[in-house]
Structure 1
Amino acid sequence: MPSDATSSSKRLRYQDVSVEARQILSQEGESHRFEFKETAEAVDARVLTAAANAVLVDEIAEGLVTILVGVKEVTDEQTGVVRGEVVGLVKMNDERARHASLEKARQKIQSRASETLPVPVGLRIIEEGVDTAAPFLRLEVRPTRAPHYTRDGLRVTRYGASTRAITDEELIDVYLVREAEAFRQRFTEIAGGLTGTVETLRGNVEATSEAIMSALKEVEDNAGYAAVEASEAASALREIEMELRDRPTSAEVIDWLEHGDLAIAAKLSRVAAHLTRRINSQRVKPTNPRPRKATS
Structure 2
Amino acid sequence: MKREYRRLSRRTQQLLNAPESVNVDFKREVQAVRSAHLVAFANSPLGGTLLIGIDEYTSPDGVQRGRVVGCDVDDRARLLLVNKATECIPNIELKIYTENLSQSRPVLRVEIPSGHLKPYCTHGGEYRIRTDGRNRALLPEELLAIYMDREGEQFLSRFRDAVYQLEHQVEGVNHSLSKGMLAVSQHLEDLDDQLRHTLHRIEQLTDSNKKRSRNLLQALRESQRSIVQLEEVVAPRVDSYSSGLLVDIEHKLGMLLDLIDTDAELTDSIHDEEES
| TM-score computed with the length of structure 2 as normaliser | 0.67
Contact preservation (8 Å) 2:3, 2:96: yes
Match of 1:177 among 149, 160, 166: 149
Match of 1:154 among 95, 113, 126: 126
Aligned residues: 206
Contact preservation (8 Å) 2:23, 2:133: no
Matching residue of 2:54 = 71
Aligned residue for 2:136, secondary structure, equals strand
Matching residue of 2:38 = 48
Please show how residues 77-96 of structure 1 align to structure 2 within 5 Å.
77=60, 79-90=61-72
Match of 1:120 among 91, 107, 122: 91
Contact preservation (8 Å) 1:158, 1:164: yes
CA shift digits 1:37-81 (9 cap, x unpaired): 1211111111111111223xxxx3xxx21111222333321x334
Q: CA offset at residue 144 of structure 1?
A: 4.4
Aligned residue for 1:23, secondary structure, equals helix
User: Which residue identity is paired with 1:152?
Assistant: G
Using the alignment, how far apart are the partners of 2:110 and 2:149 within structure 1?
Answer: 24
User: Which residue identity is paired with 1:204?
Assistant: S
Residues 128, 198 of structure 1: CA spacing in aligned structure 2 closer, same or farther, 3 A cutoff? farther
Aligned residue for 2:74, secondary structure, equals helix
Using the alignment, how far apart are the partners of 1:135 and 1:164 within structure 2?
Answer: 30
User: Which residue identity is paired with 2:4?
Assistant: R
Aligned residue for 2:145, secondary structure, equals helix
Structure 1: gaps (5+ residues): 1-9, 91-100, 238-296
Aligned residue for 1:51, secondary structure, equals helix
Contact preservation (8 Å) 2:28, 2:53: yes
Matching residue of 2:20 = 30
User: Which residue identity is paired with 2:201?
Assistant: E
Using the alignment, how far apart are the partners of 2:11 and 2:164 within structure 1?
Answer: 37
Contact preservation (8 Å) 2:58, 2:64: yes
Greater fraction helix? 2
Using the alignment, how far apart are the partners of 1:130 and 1:216 within structure 2?
Answer: 81
Structure 2: gaps (5+ residues): 208-276
Please show how residues 137-152 of structure 1 align to structure 2 within 5 Å.
137-141=108-112, 142-152=114-124
Please show how residues 207-218 of structure 1 align to structure 2 within 5 Å.
207-218=179-190
State, as a whole percentage, how many aligned pairs show the same letter. 29
RMSD over aligned Cα, in angstroms? 2.3
Please show how residues 226-241 of structure 1 align to structure 2 within 5 Å.
226-231=198-203, 233=204
Contact preservation (8 Å) 2:53, 2:108: yes
